[in-house]
């Protein structure tokens, strides 16, 4: 085979690899939500935030928390403080997607409440991040949401 022929072959292989990477092989992380949560909160300020239990989580989002493999939830007791960090781990993709939809809806509702009323809260909600990756949901409402998200990706992809 010619040099150009090898060139084509390599490209075909790389294309298959690219499709595979972006499509099929994204194995779930083995880490539990607590561990991911610790990695995330290490990178952002948690002053005034505290870890909540499942009861609080279900009252906030209406989840049946026993359905999830594990979760991590922290937020503030103060109603006007909208900061929160939520991580949900589950092996079922559909369950995660459903939960993410619920979170998204809640977040939008909250935003419309605070919009035009509290500039700090609404700007935080506006730049909140919600992502699903490697069998985990991350939802952050925080000044350092971007840094938190980065830490999350790093943690689940390790």
Q: Which residues bind other proteins (CB under 8 A)?
A: 2, 4-5, 7-8, 10-12, 14-15, 18-19, 22-23, 79, 113, 115-117, 119, 122-123, 146-147, 149-150, 153
Residue keyed to tokens 């292989």:
13
Strand order in the sheet with 84-89: 50-51, 70-75, 84-89, 136-141, 129-133
Which lies closer to other proteins via its Cβ, residue 7 or residue 48? 7
Which lies closer to other proteins via its Cβ, residue 64 or residue 79? 79
If residue 54 lies in a helix (H) or strand (E), which one and from where to where? helix 54-61
Least Å from the CB of residue 44 to other proteins: 13
CB 128 within 8 A of CB 146: no
Which lies closer to other proteins via its Cβ, residue 88 or residue 151? 151
């Amino acid at each position: 085979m010619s040099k150009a022929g090898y060139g084509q072959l390599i490209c075909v292989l790389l294309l298959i690899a690219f499709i595979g990477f972006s499509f099929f092989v994204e194995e779930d992380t083995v880490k539990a939500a607590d561990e991911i949560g610790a990695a995330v909160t290490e990178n952002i300020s948690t002053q005034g935030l505290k870890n909540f239990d499942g009861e609080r989580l279900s009252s906030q989002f209406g989840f049946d928390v026993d359905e999830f493999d594990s979760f991590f939830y922290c937020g503030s007791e103060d109603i006007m403080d909208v900061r929160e960090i939520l991580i949900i781990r589950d092996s079922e993709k559909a369950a995660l997607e459903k939960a993410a939809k619920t979170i998204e809806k809640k977040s939008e509702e909250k935003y419309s409440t605070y919009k035009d009323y509290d500039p700090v809260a609404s700007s935080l909600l506006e730049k909140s991040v919600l992502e699903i990756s490697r069998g985990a949901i991350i939802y952050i409402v925080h000044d350092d949401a971007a840094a938190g998200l980065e830490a999350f990706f790093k943690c689940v992809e390790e």
